[in-house]
Structure 1
Amino acid sequence: MAEKLILPTEVKVCATCSYWDGERQVDAEMKLVVVSDECQGECLVQETNKPGLHDVRKECDCIWEDLEPDDDVGSPPAAA
């Protein structure tokens, strides 16, 4: 079995981006992303292969988007 790294979902690496198409497990309850330390996947924005642990903070053409769902998108406002 391959070694695994567990990353909080707020860490800005390719494996925590909603536009990254690679093998990962997302635990919504624990807010963790689990990836193999050598995993690869396609960046759907840049259309290039990227390692899952690629740090995107210094990439000017990256459109990194958090895996977290938007809060209450499409829900009616709460009654007062």
Structure 2
Amino acid sequence: MNEKLIIPAEVKICATCSYWDGERKIDPELRVVVVADGCKGECLVQGKCCQGLNDEFEWRDDCLWEHLAPDTPPDEEKK
């Protein structure tokens, strides 16, 4: 069984970046990201596979880390 990690959405790692396309669950109310230990995904900026737990400093020269924020619900966009 894979262990799950719960990470605050503000922590700058690949799994909490909006450009990381790996498997994760996001709780917008608690502002946490849940990923499997050792999860991998594709960095959409760099176009390569990377670990979800990589921190920004490993990629600092070409990383465009962007805070992962929940989408605005459609009914709120009209206000």
Task: Normalising by structure 1, report the TM-score.
Answer: 0.82
Task: For residue 57 of structure 1, report the CA deviation from its aligned partner.
Answer: 3.1
Query: Which entry has the higher C-alpha Rg, 1 or 2?
Result: 1
How many percent identity over aligned positions? 58
Matched, 1:62 2:66: no
The letter for the 2-side match of 1:16 is: T
Task: For residue 69 of structure 1, report the CA deviation from its aligned partner.
Answer: 4.7
Matched, 1:30 2:38: no
Deviating beyond 6 angstroms after TM superposition, the runs of 4 or more aligned structure 1 residues are none
| SS at structure 2 position matched to 1:66 | coil
In structure 2, distance between residues paired with 1:75 and 1:63: 30
Which stretch has the larger CA shift, 53-62 or 11-20?
Answer: 53-62
Deviations 1:28-80 (A, max 9, x none): 00100000111000000000101000001351200001112589xx767xxxx
| SS at structure 2 position matched to 1:7 | strand
Unaligned ranges ≥5, structure 1: none
Unaligned ranges ≥5, structure 2: none
| SS at structure 1 position matched to 2:26 | strand
Select the structure that is richer in helix.
2
